[in-house]
Amino acid sequence: MTIDDRLLVVIAGPTAVGKTALGIALAGHYNTDIISADSRQFFREMRIGTAAPSEQELSLVPHHFVHHLSILDPYNVSRFESDALALLGKLFTAHQVVCMVGGSGLYINAVCHGIDLLPDPDPEIRRELKETLADAGIAALQDELALLDPGYAAQVDHMNPARIIRALEICRATGVPYSMLRTNRPKQRAFRILKVGLELPRELLYQRINKRVDEMFTAGLFEEALALYPYRHLNALNTVGYKELFDHFEGLTSLEHAIDKIKIHSRRYAKRQLTWFKKDTGYKWFQPGDLERIIALPEMQGV
């Protein structure tokens, strides 16, 4: 099988748009496997709040990178790139087509184009930086970044503490400016890539998001989040659906308000996802019911 024979079909889009169902239908048509590229669904303790595929859905076609980690396991996009590429090397010996389904743009890009080899974050450095943020504010982090890496400080979103902290982690851990380690050079892959983006009219998407949140609570999201509350400091739980309930558990908001916030933040998250994917002109856009149109794409012919 040559590079021209093997095809990775990426199915991406915002939360609740219908990626799981379309991915299963497409993988079933080609009798192939699905690689999950939803970083929130990696963790087995977060089944309900991440809208992970159900046991029935997982049984329909082979899935990889769903519930394979604990929230206590260290993991990052660099490791995902390495793990996913290793798996693809095996899957492509048996399948001409493999599907990758998810909404985590950074993780999808890592598999398709590669990321720079940056060291894993040091937990102690991250703790110190977060304490600085809490005690002295974001201005203190901005000042340190301007000193250690003026090039990146000039281009980073100054009001985004996560990006500033990540850059400072690298600067402190390596002694090298973060900007010097970011090459942003796409890597050549030993397979073809077809990027399929899913979208829906905004009002319909927002209705689906609101309905999904209600269904999560019916399925036990409250109880799941309560069981995870002792681990709320972990980065894996710094996500929509859990943060809002943690505030409720701490007495900062009512349950009704927390549910409303989850819906609002989920809609905002979907908007950010669409913005991310729309920047990549390589995507071909469809609605989730367009299976036959996707199969008819020129890239899919002969596979």
User: Are 112 and 56 contained in the same domain?
Assistant: yes
Q: Which DSSP symbol is given to 156?
A: S
Instruction: Assess whether 77 and 112 both reside in one domain.
Output: yes
What residues contact 90, with CB distance under 8 A and at least 6 apart? none
Confidence of residue 187 (pLDDT cuts 50, 70, 90): confident
Q: pLDDT > 90: what percent of the chain?
A: 80
- Residues 200 and 73 grouped into a single domain: yes
Q: Measured between alpha carbons, how far is 58 from 20 in angstroms, rounded to an integer?
A: 10
pLDDT at 4: 67
DSSP letter string, 12-26: E-STTSSHHHHHHHH
Dihedral over Cα of 149, 151, 153, 157: its sign: negative
- Let me know if residue 97 belongs to a domain: yes
- pLDDT above 80 (res 183): no
On whether both 44 and 100 belong to a single domain, the answer is yes
Q: How many domains does the chain fold into?
A: 2
Give the CATH number for residue 78: 3.40.50.300
Domain containing 129: what range? 123-181
Asked whether residue 71 falls in the same domain as residue 194, the answer is: yes
Q: What percent of the chain has pLDDT over 70?
A: 97
Q: How confident is the model at residue 60 (pLDDT cuts 50, 70, 90)?
A: very high
Domain co-membership, 202 together with 163 = no
In a domain, 260, yes or no: no
Residues 196 and 72 in one domain: yes
Question: Which spans in 137-254 are helix H?
Answer: 138-148, 150-153, 161-174, 178-181, 202-219, 221-228, 243-249
Looking at the fold, whether 93 and 44 belong to one and the same domain comes out as yes
| Cα of 287 vs its chain's centroid, Å | 20
Residues 168 and 280 in one domain: no
Does 239 fall in a domain?
A: no
Question: Are 66 and 153 contained in the same domain?
Answer: no
- Give me the CATH number covering residue 130: 1.10.20.140
Do 54 and 132 reside in the same domain of the chain? no
pTM of the model: 0.83
